[in-house]
Amino acid sequence: MTREHPAKQLRRLRSGGALLGLCLALGACTHTETVDLTASIPDDSRQRHPIAIQEADQSMVVFVGTGRGGLTGPQRADLAALADDWLREGTGQVVIDAPIHTPNARAAAQSVREIRALLAAKGLPPGSVTVREFQPRDPRQFAAIRVNYPRITASVGPCGLWPDDLGPSIKNKAYFENKPYYNFGCANQRNLAAMVANPSDLVQPRAETPAYTARRTVLLDNYRKTIPVVPTDTKISDTGK
C-alpha cells in the first residue's frame, strides 16, 4: 500500500473547498425569498384608502365661437360663481388660457377682456388675474378659453384595484381569514372627499362662532310663552280634617 504525497493531498483539499464554495454561491443566487405583499395592508378602509389633502386646480371652460365675441348669460353666471369661490377658497392667481392663431382667436380675445372685467367687478384684485396664451397642437381640436385657479382639495384613489380574487383561492388569505377585500370602502372614501365643503374639516374642528343673540332671544320668548301659569289663589284641601 502506497501513501499519497502530502502536497497532492493539500491540492486536493484546496480544489474541493473551492468547488464547495462555488456550489454554495450558486445556490444563494438561485434562492428567492417569498414576501407577502398583502400582509401589511390594514383592515380599516380609512387606512387602506386615506383621504389626501393637497393643492389642485379648479378649472372652467368657456367656449367661444368664431363669429361671436363676448359671453353668454349662462357663462357670466358661471364666471360669477367661480369668482365667489376664488374669494372663499383660492390659494393662487386666476390664470386665463386664451387661444391664439386659431379661427376664433379674435372672438376669444374679446371674451377674455369681458372675463377680466367681470372678475374685477366681483372684487378680485387686478394682480390676481393673469392671461396665458396657447395654441392647440391639433388643428382639429376646438380652442376654448380655460379659467383656472389653485385651491385646497381632498382626494382619494385610485379605486378599482383588485390585487386578490374575491372568492377562495390559494393566494387569497384574506378570504379564509374573513377580512375585507382591498377595494372595499374606496368608493365611500372618494365620495366623502368629493362632498366635503372645507377639506380642513377632515383634519381639525372649526372654532366656535358667536351666538346669534337676536334669534336666541326669539326662541327664549317663545319658550316662556309655553310655560303654564300656576294660579296664585289656590287653597289647601280640607280633606282629612
List helix spans (H) across 157-212. 173-176, 186-195
The whole-number average pLDDT for the span 112-123 is 95
Domain chopping of the chain, boundaries: 45-49+157-202, 56-152
The CA-atom distances, in angstroms, between 186 and each of 114, 153, 162, 174, 180 are 42, 17, 12, 17, 12
Q: Of 71 and 1, which is predicted with more confidence?
A: 71
What pLDDT score does 35 carry?
Answer: 41
Residue 59, SS3 per DSSP: strand
Question: What tens digit of pLDDT does each residue of 31-88 get?
Answer: 444 444 445 678 888 888 999 999 999 999 999 998 887 899 999 999 999 999 999 9
Strand order of the β-sheet with 145-155 is: 52-62, 145-155, 94-99, 129-134
- What fold does the segment set 56-152 form as a domain? 60s Ribosomal Protein L30; Chain: A; (3.30.1330)
**Mean residue pLDDT across the chain:** 82
What pLDDT score does 150 carry?
Answer: 95
